[in-house]
Structure 1
Amino acid sequence: MIQKLALLMALLGMLSACGGGDGTNPVNNPGTDDGDDGTELPDGTDGATAADPIIRYEEQSENGNGYASDISYDPATDTFSVNNLGFDGANVYTRDNQVAWLGPFAVYEATETFYDSMTGAPISQIADYKAIYGVSSSGQTNFAIVRTGGYIDYGFGGFVYARNGSVTLPTTGQAAYSGDYAGLRDFSGRDGIEYVTGDMEMSIDFEDFDSGDAVSGYVYNRRVYDTAGNDVTNDILVAMGNGATSLPTLVFDIGPGVTQDNGEIAGTLRSNTFDANGVATKYEEGNYYAVLSGANAEEVVGVIVVDSNDPRYGVDVRETGGFILYR
């Protein structure tokens, strides 16, 4: 059995409000702050209020997630430094040479060859370490996701998202948000990794429920690509059968207890397929995590993690996507 540690990707180098001014900004697991009575929040900032910056990252779990540390971004060279991952080259991720962007979000990769420091002999590294980074137009929020397709089971991976300032939450009315979604898909049962893109909408009712605001959300128009940038969505649709013409829409479950007074949000979501009689069958399910930011709660950043069975291969696939949305 392969023993794995997971990669937490903490990207703070561009955000001086979150650390030192040298462009390194190491992250050293600052603790946890669970949701009040809804879905548990990931690890991160402890006891934050609406006036505070917040960072959340993938928690420690039995499959090894959440153990990486000392992650930093160098804006001068457009590279990541990543510590505590075996066989990912020299711990530096550079812009991907085949898929540099997924919509507005940047894509990075680790090198797949390292050289013996004494003899110069080449050493093959774990394949397909990929990273996606998104930052809002204001710089108030950002996210990063890292996964690898180099293992038969889910490989090393992790995510981070952050608010770099404060939020003022409305107490009445509703708000509509829209923007971009992009992520990485890795497998349990086969190697390989894929990209995914989509459109996303979110709405918040700031007046109800009494126990946490009501939040709805949709991720739609999803397309899947291989690491060379080829669109493989149709291969999935053919394997799904029943005349499928698009990937199912991810839909937030609506209920109380998903929001907090500091602007954080966490809940569950799912997608369904429908047969010729309109009968629904669950296709994907998982969690979403987010945080609002701005004087008018004008933007939101977050991460979605859903699992399903890939109809092409009959194995489980995990999709980890990030989003930045605006009012």
Structure 2
Amino acid sequence: MIRLLSTAALLALLAGCGDGQPFDFEDPADAPADGGDAGGRDSGGDAEDGDDADDGFGGDERLLPGTADPDPDRSITRFEAETEDGGGFVRRVTLLSGARLEVDNLAFDGTEPYRSDYRGPSTLNGYAVFQSAAEVETGGSEPIDQLDYRAIYGESINTVRVDGERLPRTRFAVVRTGDFSNFGFGGFLYERNGGVEIPARGQAAFRGDYAGIRVFDTISRHEFTTGDIEVLVDFDDFNASDGVRGTLSNRRAFDEDGLEIETNTSGVRRTDLSDRAILDLPTVRFVLTDAASTPNGEIVGQLNNLVVVDGKAEPYEAGEYFGVLSGDLETGGEVTGILVFESEDPRLEDIRVQETGGFTAYRD
């Protein structure tokens, strides 16, 4: 079920942690020296002399750029690595009062913060949705048209005090635009404030809401998606890493104005009575491996699914998940993260689509 809050109610909830608190990380090489209290927001120590800063994430090349030398007792921030298509350019977002979001490092996205009262949905599945301004006045005869960037912002219902400041325990942001002839410029970030207590034994289920943005190559267009996220963790095994499973299910899609798109979630491709192809959004599954988690409470891995076409199962969507566990997982806690995956849209000939979405899930 899609959960829609009014913009006022949602932003009031988000604003409970204070106005203008950014989460950002410009470059791993710029990480401040380690000198804060345990659980502080600083990002760990500088890279050793002679070390490549890109390898400074706890020695795990699977992890995204961000916090150097991560620790289970400290805050962690991650952001999308730069891609050939333009991903990874967003390194800083700041939630402001009045349903506004400040986004840094994207050209032609207006000169003012993004707002939630332009056209299109202002919330998706309990997360705030923001849009950049359509044009910029320059004092000349004509305003300059801007690119249509959309941002999804979510933060935990729980807060934690870090270095005397009350912050959401976790939060994420996704920024994309459909105004390029490829996937275009954008980015995502997610973070944990404070640390994590990981049990030595047992298993846990985390369930929550997901919202995403779909952009296309070779055509200018974007869509929104929602779904239910489930993340299961086995703290007993594997011996080298906690086992992680997960699903994205009950998926729905919406056009840029927020109107629902007809979808097929059965996993068996079909058309309507006019032989028009219908968008496939079957359940996406995390691939179970023996190296999906780190001692710092981070999770990373592959995800995929299949769709049956003419009686034959074929690979359909594939990509990656990234996330971070937070809080005392013995009795509660949560996980927040990002899914990024691609597929060939069945409604369009030889057109690929990239979906990027964020989630927060709480221990069941």
TM-score between both structures, scaled by the size of structure 1:
0.86
Moved more, 156-165 or 244-253: 244-253
For residues 130 and 267 of structure 2, the distance between their equivalents in structure 1, rounded to whole angstroms, comes to 30
Q: Deviation digits for residues 52-95 of structure 1, max 9, x if unmatched?
A: 00010011233333234453222x23312223322111142011
Query: Are the equivalent residues in 2 in contact too, given 1:36–1:257 (CA < 8 A)?
Result: no
Task: Determine the structure 1 residue equivalent to 2:28.
Answer: 30
Unpaired runs of at least 5, structure 1 = 1-11
Task: Determine the structure 2 residue equivalent to 1:55.
Answer: 77
- Aligned counterparts, 1:251-270, within 5 A: 251-270=285-304
Task: Determine the structure 2 residue equivalent to 1:302.
Answer: 337
CA separation of 1:113/1:174 partners in 2, compared to 1, >3 Å: closer, same or farther? same
SS of equivalent to 2:232: strand
* CA-CA distance at 1:235 after TM superposition: 8.2
Task: Determine the structure 1 residue equivalent to 2:87.
Answer: 65
Q: C-alpha root-mean-square deviation of aligned residues, in Å?
A: 2.7
Q: Deviation digits for residues 156-193 of structure 1, max 9, x if unmatched?
A: 11100110111000110100111101100000111111
SS of equivalent to 2:233: strand
Pick from 108, 121, 128 the counterpart of residue 99 of structure 1: 121
For residues 169 and 261 of structure 2, the distance between their equivalents in structure 1, rounded to whole angstroms, comes to 34
CA separation of 1:239/1:95 partners in 2, compared to 1, >3 Å: closer, same or farther? farther
SS of equivalent to 2:196: coil
2:299 maps to 1:292: no
CA separation of 1:22/1:218 partners in 2, compared to 1, >3 Å: closer, same or farther? closer
Identical counterparts, % of pairs: 37
- Aligned counterparts, 1:1-327, within 5 A: 23-24=21-22, 27-31=25-29, 33-34=56-57, 40-74=62-96, 76-97=97-118, 98-116=120-138, 118-119=139-140, 121-126=142-147, 128-138=148-158, 139-234=168-263, 240-241=269-270, 247-275=281-309, 277=311, 279-296=312-329, 298-314=333-349, 315-327=351-363
CA separation of 1:168/1:40 partners in 2, compared to 1, >3 Å: closer, same or farther? same
**Aligned residue-pair number:** 307
For residues 250 and 27 of structure 1, the distance between their equivalents in structure 2, rounded to whole angstroms, comes to 30
Moved more, 216-225 or 58-67: 58-67
Q: Which has the higher contact order (CA 8 A, sep 6+)?
A: 1
Query: Are the equivalent residues in 2 in contact too, given 1:26–1:69 (CA < 8 A)?
Result: yes
CA separation of 1:312/1:227 partners in 2, compared to 1, >3 Å: closer, same or farther? same
TM-score between both structures, scaled by the size of structure 2:
0.77
Unpaired runs of at least 5, structure 2 = 1-13, 30-53, 159-167, 273-277
CA separation of 1:245/1:30 partners in 2, compared to 1, >3 Å: closer, same or farther? closer
* CA-CA distance at 1:304 after TM superposition: 0.2
SS of equivalent to 2:197: coil
For residues 141 and 53 of structure 1, the distance between their equivalents in structure 2, rounded to whole angstroms, comes to 9
Q: Deviation digits for residues 216-244 of structure 1, max 9, x if unmatched?
A: 00001111100111111338999942788
